[in-house]
Chain A
Amino acid sequence: MSVHHIRNRRTAGTAAVLGTALALSACAGGTDAPVGEPETPSEPVDLRMTVWTADETQLDLFQSIADAYVAENPELVSSVKFETIPFEDYTTALTTQLAGGNAPDLAWIFESNAPEFVSSGALVDLRPVLEGTEGYAFDDLVPSALTLWEDGDGLYAYPFSNSPFAMFVNTDQIEAAGQPNPVDLVADGGWTFDAARDIAAATAEKSGKQGLVVRDFDYQSWENLATVWSGWKAAPWSADGTQCTFTDPAMVDAMTWFHDAVFTDAAMPAPGTTADFFAGDAAMTITQISRASALDDSFQWDIVPLPEGPAGKQNVVGQAGVGVFAAGEHPDVAADFLAYFTNAENAEQLAAYFPPPRQSLLNGESLAAANPKLTSEQLEAVVVQGVEDAVTKPAHKNFAKLSETVRAELDALWVEDADVEAVLTDTCAAVTPLLED
């Protein structure tokens, strides 16, 4: 093989890779006009909805609801397909599909990206179809749950999941370490972040495993730390999204607490260490109750609300929306399906994993009927009270860039001798231009 040949091939290879990556032309034309009653298409259509869950029980539930819709509306749809995209790359893969002119009809959307998607015009206004669907009981939806997904009078996604963050605890490990049961501490009013840290550190020392894991954080997805810093009433930026607040005393205190819990107390896994609570690798984990489905009977566990921080108790919910893409082929049919998928009856079924934004279903009894793994007391304490006055994880119109920039800056914090205040000052310097964008 000649040098010439190789060179040409390599150059061609580079060009082809870069070219094809970017040459997927977007040809779909969208509109943010509201959708109405679907006209019967000449042939029944196929709908596609992207989701990030790969849990087969959840997917089976979706499919059974979808199949019922297909059976009731054979002239509108011939099939509804749920396509799983891994959680880590979800939004990237979704925008790549959009760029390639291959928009799904419906998609789950992370709350962090909500402002970006809602304001972009990529999604259709669902309010007319949801309000207009007979028996939907739109007024039953909790108004505060919709705020993130509204722009003016339009509602651009339906918050199908309002899952409070809570603490799952491995009571076997905690008991073996002779530590107090968090459930008792909740009852006594002693359930604080400091108490959780001490129990985690002592249990980890005894078990040789890890203590407290903030699930999905992994020293990358920093927005998940909102479940911790909210106890200090800290936030990364002001409510209107224009001012950086990483340097506020509350945030400095919260991050100092977190840093020390990792590097001084060894209460949390250090960077580069993975530990899965549900596999029995850790004493406790902060995550959403929708993850309860990952639990089996291999150890005794319980679930308690988030601990109190110095600023008191702050509930945090993780929301996820489902929207209909204007660029999809059949937005009107997709919206009609969404109205069916999330009606009061189906919302009750979905409540097994995804606490719905419906007032009538947000009580321990209803949720327990759908949630065999959790008792109505647990659900009352964690879900019903957890949704009240809850904050969501950080969201911003410019979230993609903010997320990456903050991640890069906070990397300097995840070393033993980090100067917390200096790192947070640098973080604000880096994100301020993005907030002003």
Chain B
Amino acid sequence: MATASAAVRRDWLVGYTMVAPVVLGSLAFVVLPLGMVVWYSLHEWNVLANTFTFVGAENYQRMASDPGLGDALLATVWFSIGLVVVNIALALLLAVLLNQKLPGTTTFRTFFFSPVVVSLVAWTIVWSFLLQADGGINGFLSVLGAEGPNWLRHPTTAMIAVVIVQVFKNVGLNMILFLAALQGVPEELQEAARLDGAGAWRRFRSITLPLISPTILLVSIITIVGSLEVFAQIDVLTGGGPGNSTTVLVYYLYQQAFRFNEFGYASALAVLLFLIVLVLTLLQWQSRKRWVFHEV
């Protein structure tokens, strides 16, 4: 009995020692900052004047009458929709193409994945040169006889440019996830369907898509949450402009805190962003039963 209890105690000790780093890390770097952000959001905090005054829900009430926030949310929606649709569609297409047993596929897989490991800021700076009025993209277009727009100076093309730069940066990661899922689709199911006379599209729709649906869910969540966190690309490429066309929520939050010294209001915006991410993720998680194969 004594031996058993000692063993239990040892297990207990080993177990808690193992989880201690992650628990302590989460407490220090996730839970505590989250709590502090909520606390700051209830204050007016002017760094220059060194004032920190409790204002209750004032920062939250201010959101309702802040036209800049409406514009930022709209820009965020456009950015997220553009990014999610283009990224997932392109990643799936590339994965399907590179899932063929053809020579050279490994080279192409490496090619499309390589931007993922490039420094984000370096990647964006290179694109900022390419996207200039007299940059590489328009130079290429002029060789083809077309005249490209001044990409980063018009609201619509600036948003398109930011989305495309982000898609090319991360599409490789999603492609690899889709590739792994595609390779897990049993060949015998495809074979059976083929014998039943199903064409390529029918097999893709009725066998491949349902079987990779857990990965589609995973990729959707990563991409949507990622789209809400975009900052460096906006800062480097457009600075939120032209006008406020690419001022997405995170960039707006940054402006409020670090440019306008409105740390209290920025904290309230951070809480709003947190809630948006939470709600979107929960919605997706709840909806999985309807369309994710493993959950049926």
| Residue ranges of A at the interface with B (Cβ–Cβ < 8 Å) | 3, 6-7, 10-23, 25-26, 28-30, 91-92, 95-96, 98-99, 116-117, 120-122, 219-220, 270-274, 326-327, 400-401, 404, 407-409, 411-412, 414-415
Contacts and interface: CB of A to CB of B under 8 A. Distances in A.
Interface string B241-271: 1111000000001010111110100110010
Contacts of A272: 132-135, 150-153
Interface size class of B (residues with CB under 8 A): 35 or more
Given A19-B37, A92-B259, A404-B259, A415 B153 contact: yes
Contact of B29 (A6, A16, A120): A16
Contact of A20 (B29, B229, B253, B274): B29
Contact of B33 (A20, A121, A219): A20
A395 B30 CA distance: 40
A19 B218 contact: no
B34 interface: yes
B48 A3 contact: no
B274 A18 contact: yes
Contact of A414 (B33, B153, B260): B153
29 contacts: A3-B217, A3-B218, A6-B218, A7-B221, A10-B226, A15-B33, A18-B274, A19-B34, A19-B36, A19-B37, A23-B37, A25-B36, A26-B47, A92-B259, A120-B49, A121-B48, A121-B50, A122-B48, A270-B150, A271-B150, A272-B133, A272-B134, A272-B150, A273-B132, A274-B132, A327-B50, A408-B242, A412-B243, A415-B154
Contacts of A408: 240-244
Contact of B285 (A7, A21, A412): A7
3 nearest A-B pairs in the assembled complex, by CB-CB distance: A19-B33, A411-B242, A120-B48
Given A11-B278, A19-B36, A29-B50, 19 more contacts: A6-B221, A7-B281, A7-B285, A10-B226, A11-B225, A11-B277, A12-B30, A14-B229, A19-B270, A21-B270, A22-B40, A95-B48, A99-B47, A270-B150, A407-B239, A407-B241, A408-B242, A411-B243, A415-B154
B52 A26 contact: yes
Interface string B264-295: 00110010011001100100010000000000
A277 to B, nearest CB: 18
Contacts, number: 149
Interface of B: 26, 29-30, 32-34, 36-37, 40, 45-50, 52, 132-135, 150-154, 214, 217-218, 221-222, 225-226, 228-229, 239-244, 253, 255, 257-261, 263, 266-267, 270, 273-274, 277-278, 281, 285
A397 to B, nearest CB: 11
A142 B40 CA distance: 43
Contacts of A122: 48-50
A404 B32 CA distance: 32
Contacts of B48: 95, 98, 116-117, 120-122
Contact of A14 (B150, B151, B274): B274
A411 B128 CA distance: 18
Contacts of A98: 47-48, 50
Contacts of B226: 10
A74 to B, nearest CB: 32
A150 B162 CA distance: 44
B153 A16 contact: no
A12 B23 CA distance: 12
B3 to A, nearest CB: 36
Nearest to B224: A10
B165 to A, nearest CB: 15
A120 B241 contact: no
Contacts of A25: 36
Contacts of A120: 46, 48-49
A273 B33 contact: no
A414 B241 CA distance: 12
Contacts of A404: 255, 259-260
